[in-house]
């Protein structure tokens, strides 16, 4: 837990005022409490987590249950209106902004998104249902994603259209004006 918290601290620019850091701190604490084997010892930590989670949701506007799986170096850029389902899975180096929903498509039907590594989720985006988001994907602001997104793609619009990312030209060729 402490290594993840140190990494979250560095990822959020070592600034106490970054609200995303506090949301992740409470999330990591909630995950850690499951490692306590003795139920009698775990109960007070579970109570503390539930109180902290309530205040996180109320004051910071971010619902991030400890049952969700979050990778390393996860960044919450802006707080407010964030809702993540308990069975969502995020890879490493993901970025999320305000107003994002990652969860179920229909009430009472299980299945939340599985999100790869290095995914950038724009403000107001909605990722719904049992979909897979590949690595190195950008989800545009206010996009509604209800189908799989392959790696190295961009998803924009309502419903989201999938656009392949352009492969960057090598720097030397771009500078010299010709290919080598």
- Give residue 130's pLDDT band: very low, low, confident or very high (50, 70, 90): very high
Percent of the chain surpassing pLDDT 70: 92
Structural domain that includes position 155: 2-164
Number of domains present in the structure of the chain: 1
Question: What is the value of pTM for the model shown?
Answer: 0.84
Domain assignment of residue 83, yes or no: yes
pLDDT tens figures, 11-37: 888 888 888 899 999 999 999 999 999
Domain assignment of residue 99, yes or no: yes
What pLDDT score was predicted for residue 18? Answer: 86
- In the predicted model, is pLDDT for residue 91 greater than 70? yes
Q: List C-alpha distances in Å: 122 to 30, 145, 157, 158.
A: 26, 12, 11, 13
What are the b/e assignments for 4-18, b being 16+ CB within 10 Å? Answer: beeebbebbeeeeeb
Domain assignment of residue 106, yes or no: yes
Q: Report residue 43 as tokens.
A: 């109960």
Domain assignment of residue 178, yes or no: no
- Give residue 93's pLDDT band: very low, low, confident or very high (50, 70, 90): very high
pLDDT tens figures, 46-68: 999 999 999 989 999 999 999 99
- Residue whose pair of structure tokens reads 């004051």 in the numeric block: 59
Domain assignment of residue 180, yes or no: no
- CATH of residue 20: 2.160.10.10
Length of the chain: 180
Residue 110 CA to residue 162 CA, distance in Å, equals 24
């Amino acid at each position: 837990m402490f290594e993840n918290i140190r990494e979250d601290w560095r990822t959020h620019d070592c600034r106490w005022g970054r609200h995303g850091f506090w949301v992740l701190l409470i999330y990591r604490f909630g995950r850690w409490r499951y490692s306590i084997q003795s139920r009698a010892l775990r109960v007070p930590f579970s109570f503390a987590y539930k109180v902290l989670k309530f205040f996180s949701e109320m004051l910071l506007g971010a619902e991030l249950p400890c049952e969700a799986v979050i990778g390393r170096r996860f960044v919450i850029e802006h707080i407010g209106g964030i809702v993540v389902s308990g069975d969502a899975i995020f890879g490493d180096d993901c970025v999320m902004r305000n107003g994002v929903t990652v969860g179920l498509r229909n009430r009472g039907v299980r299945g939340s998104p599985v999100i790869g590594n290095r995914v950038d989720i724009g403000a107001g985006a909605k990722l719904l249902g049992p979909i897979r988001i590949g690595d190195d994907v950008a989800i545009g602001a206010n996009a509604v994603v209800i189908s799989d997104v392959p790696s190295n793609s961009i998803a924009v619009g309502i419903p989201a259209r999938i656009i392949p990312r352009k492969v960057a030209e090598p720097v030397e060729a771009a500078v010299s004006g010709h290919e080598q």
